[in-house]
Structure 1
Amino acid sequence: MDTAIPTLDPAPAYALWAASYPAQAHNPVMHAEERAMLALMPPSLDGERVVDAGCGSGRYLRHAMARGATTLVGVDLSAPMLARATALFEHAPAMARIALAQGDLTALPLPDASADVLLCGLAVGHVPQLEPVLREFARVTRPGATLVVSDFHPVGAALGWQRDFRAEGQRYAVRHATHYYSHWHTACARVGLAIDAVAEPMLDPADIPPGARFDPVALDVPVALVFRLRRLPD
C-alpha cells in the first residue's frame, strides 16, 4: 500500500469522505466485519433502546431497525457523516424514535444507563486510547446490557495497511490507533465490562471484485476484531 498518501485526523478525513460514503458495507473488509457483527448482535431488538456510537452514515442503525429496534440514537464525531445518516428518517417505521447527535466516543451526549444495546462498528481505533472509550460505553449502558464493538485487526497495522479513501481526486488515509487484544482485556476489566465472545473474521474471496488492488496476504489473516461485551452490575 502507498504509505506516502496524506494521513488525516478523523474529523477532517470524514468531512472529505462523507459525500461519497455509502450507508452500507462497501469493501471486502467491511463485509467480513459486518457478518461477524450481525452474528454477535441479539437476533431481536424489539423494545430495546439501541445506541450506535460512531454511527457514521447509519449502517448499523439500519441493521438495528431491521431487527425490530424502534428507539435508536446515533452519535458521531462528524457532522457531515450525520447529515448522510438523516436518510434513515425516510425509511424508518412510523413508530420509530430516532435521534442523531454529534459527539465524541469518550464523551457521548447520553444519560447514564440509557442504552440496552450499544453498537460500534470500526470506530474505536479513531481514538488513541481504548480505555476511555470503553469506560464511556459502560457509563451509558445499563447493567446487563449487550455491547457489540468492532475494530480493524491489529495484524493489518503490522502489515502496513491503512484505512484509505479517495476524495476530490486525491487519496487520503484516516489516522487509526492499534488496539491489541490485551488492551481490550485490560480495559474491559477496569471499566466493568465482560467479554462474552470474540470473532476474528477473514475475507471471503467472493467479496473481492475482479481486478481489485489488494494485498494477497489479506486472504490468510483476520481483518477485524469483533467483541460481544456485557455490562456488569455496579
Structure 2
Amino acid sequence: MNETPILEPAEAYALWAPEYPACAHNPVMQAEERAMLTLMPAELAGYRVLDAGCGSGRYMLHALRRGAARVVGVDLSPEMLERARIELGQHRPDARVELLQGSLEALPVPDAWAQLTICGLVIGHLESLQTSLAELCRVTRPGGRLLCSDVHPIGHALGWVRDFKSGGARYAVRHTQHRFSHWHAACAALGLRIEQVLEPMLDPADIPAGAHFDRVALEVPVALVFQLRREP
C-alpha cells in the first residue's frame, strides 16, 4: 500500500482550496467547531475580530453573524484567501471584512488590534507553539480573549493524519503535536491566562453511513480547544 504523501501547508492548501467550503465539513471539524462556538461570545457588537489562519472564512462568518463590527482574516495561502473572498462575497457581501496574506509567525496586524482573536486548527501546522502564541498575544489587546484549537495530541499517538483528496489522489498536511503541557508552559511565559479547556468528542450522528474510520476515535477527544485571556 502506498503511503499518503505529507505536504507542507502552503502546498497542501493550494491543492485543497478549490474544494474547501467555509463550514465544518467533517466530523472532527464539527466537534471542534461546536466547542469553539460555545466559547465565542454570543454578542460581538463593537468587536474587532481577527481570524488568524482564516482559511475559507468559516469563523469570520460566525463572527459576522454574531455582530462583529470589523473582521480581519489572515492566511498564508493565497488560494485559501481567494476561496474566502468567494465565500464571504456569497454569504456576507456587505460585511466589513479585510483579507491579508501572512504567516501566523509574523501577522500583518498592529499590536493590540483585536478584542477577540480566533485561531482554529492552525497552530499544529507550525513547529513552534510559543512563537505562534506570542504573535497571537501581540495582536490581541490587553484583557482581550483568544480562542485557539488544534487536533488533539492523542490523534498523533494513534497515527491519525490530516488528509484530503485532490485530483483523485490523497494527501496529508504536515502537523506537529503540541501537548497540553506545552500550551501551559507557553501561556505562562507569555502572560496568557488559560480560562477554559475543552476536549470535544465525535458525535456519532456526524459520521456518514458506511464511513471507514478508526473506531477508537469515538472513545477519545479529537480536538483541544482553549479560551485564553491576555493579561491586562
Q: What does residue 30 of structure 2 align with?
A: 31
Matched residues in 2 for 1:120 and 1:168: separation?
Answer: 28
> Does residue 92 of the first structure (1) align with residue 92 of the second (2)?
yes
The answer to whether the 8 Å contact 1:152/1:223 transfers is yes
CA RMSD of superposed structures (Å) = 1.1
Counterpart AA for 1:217: V
Matched residues in 2 for 1:22 and 1:45: separation?
Answer: 24
Deviations 1:33-77 (A, max 9, x none): 000000011111110000000000001001001111130000001
Deviations 1:119-152 (A, max 9, x none): 1110000001100000001100100101111000
Shift of 1:208: 0.2
Matched residues in 2 for 1:26 and 1:114: separation?
Answer: 30
The answer to whether the 8 Å contact 1:70/1:98 transfers is no
Structure 2: 5+ residue stretches without partners: none
The answer to whether the 8 Å contact 1:89/1:98 transfers is no
**SS in structure 2 opposite 1:197?**
strand
**SS in structure 1 opposite 2:73?**
strand
Counterpart AA for 2:168: G
The answer to whether the 8 Å contact 1:130/1:183 transfers is yes
Superposed counterparts of 1:3-82, under 5 Å: 4-82=3-81
| Identity, % of aligned positions | 64
Matched residues in 2 for 1:47 and 1:93: separation?
Answer: 19
Structure 1: 5+ residue stretches without partners: none
**Structure 1 stretches of at least 4 aligned residues deviating more than 6 Å after TM superposition:** none
Q: What does residue 231 of structure 1 align with?
A: 230
Matched residues in 2 for 1:67 and 1:210: separation?
Answer: 33
Matched residues in 2 for 1:68 and 1:3: separation?
Answer: 47
Matched residues in 2 for 1:73 and 1:89: separation?
Answer: 14
Shift of 1:188: 0.5
Shift of 1:89: 3.2
Counterpart AA for 2:141: R
Counterpart AA for 2:221: P
Q: What does residue 148 of structure 1 align with?
A: 147
Shift of 1:91: 2.9
- Give me the TM-score of the superposition, normalised by structure 1: 0.96
The alignment covers a number of residue pairs equal to 231
Matched residues in 2 for 1:51 and 1:176: separation?
Answer: 23
Matched residues in 1 for 2:93 and 2:75: separation?
Answer: 22
Counterpart AA for 2:183: W
